[in-house]
Amino acid sequence: MSTNSPTLAEDLRSAILRAPDIVLDDSDVMRALIAADDKARGDNVVDLRGIAMDRLSSRLDQLEDTHRSVIAAAYDNLSGMQLIHRAALRLMDPTDFESFLHNLDGDVAAILRVDAVRLVLETRQDDTSPTLAQFSEILKVADCGFTNAYLGVDEAALPNSVTLRQIDGGSSEIYGSVGPALRSEACLRLDLGAGCLPALLLLGSGEPQQFNPQQATDLLEFFTGIAERSLRHWLS
C-alpha cells in the first residue's frame, strides 16, 4: 500500500528506536510532536492529556527557574562568606595599631570591594593626640554620642550591630572627598567593652545595591565581632 506521507530516514529511525528516551527528554521535540498530533486531530477534539502535559511542562520550567535561583543565591552566599573570612584574617594580621589602620584602608577595603573605610572613635576629650592625627584619612575622632546620632537611634535604644542603608552621598566630614560619590554604606557598631565608648566602622560604596537594608547581615556581624576584638586589643 503506497502513501504520500514523508518517512523518517532509516538512520534517524534506527537511532530513535535504539534510544527513545532521547526524544522523550527533549522538551522542544516533545512540544513539536504534541503540536503535530493536535493538528492531525483537528480543532473539534480536546486532548486532555496534551493540556495536562502543557501544565506539567510549565511547572517544570518554574521549578528549573527556582532551582537556578537557589543555586545562584547559594553561590553568592559562599562567595560573600569567603570574602568576609579573608578580610577578617587580614584584620588579625597586624602587630601594631598603625598597621591595623593601614590594613583597614588598604587590603581590607580591597577584599570587601568598598570605596571607603572609616573608623570613628568616640572620645570625651577635646583634643586629638598627634599619633591619631596622622591617620585622619581613615580614623575619625568624634564626641560622645556620635555613633547613635549617626545611626539615627535614641540614646536609650540598643542599636543593631550592623546597619545597611542606601545614601545619596556620604558625609564629607567622615568620608572626605569620596563622600559625594557614595551610594550605600554598612555601619558596624563596635562594642569596645565595659566602661568604653562605642566605635563605628563605616564601609562606603558607590554601588547603591552593595549595602541594601533587605540583605542579611550575619556575615558582617561576624566581621564586626573580629573588628571589636582587634580594637579592644590595640586600645586597651
Q: Write out pLDDT tens, residues 167-190.
A: 999 988 899 999 999 999 999 999
What confidence score (pLDDT) does residue 195 get?
Answer: 82
Cβ–Cβ under 8 Å, residues 172 and 164: no
What confidence score (pLDDT) does residue 178 get?
Answer: 93
Mark the ranges of the chain whose per-residue pLDDT is less than 50. 1-5
What confidence score (pLDDT) does residue 130 get?
Answer: 58
Number of Cβ atoms within 10 Å of the Cβ of 155: 7
Cβ–Cβ under 8 Å, residues 157 and 177: no
98-115 pLDDT, tens digit each: 888 888 888 999 999 999
At residue 202, the 3 state secondary structure works out as strand
> Could you tell me the pTM of the whole model?
0.66
What confidence score (pLDDT) does residue 132 get?
Answer: 60
At residue 154, the 3 state secondary structure works out as coil
Domain assignments of the chain as residue spans, ordered by start: 10-62, 82-235
At 106, which helix (H) or strand (E)?
none
What confidence score (pLDDT) does residue 155 get?
Answer: 65
Query: How far, in Å, CA of 216 to CA of 91, rounded?
Result: 22
Q: Quote the CATH superfamily of domain 82-235.
A: GAF domain (3.30.450.40)
Tell me phi and psi for residue 188, to 5 degrees.
-105, 110
The whole-chain average pLDDT of the chain stands at: 80
Write the burial class of residue 118 (CB in 10 Å: 0-12 exposed, 13-18 middle, 19+ buried). Answer: buried
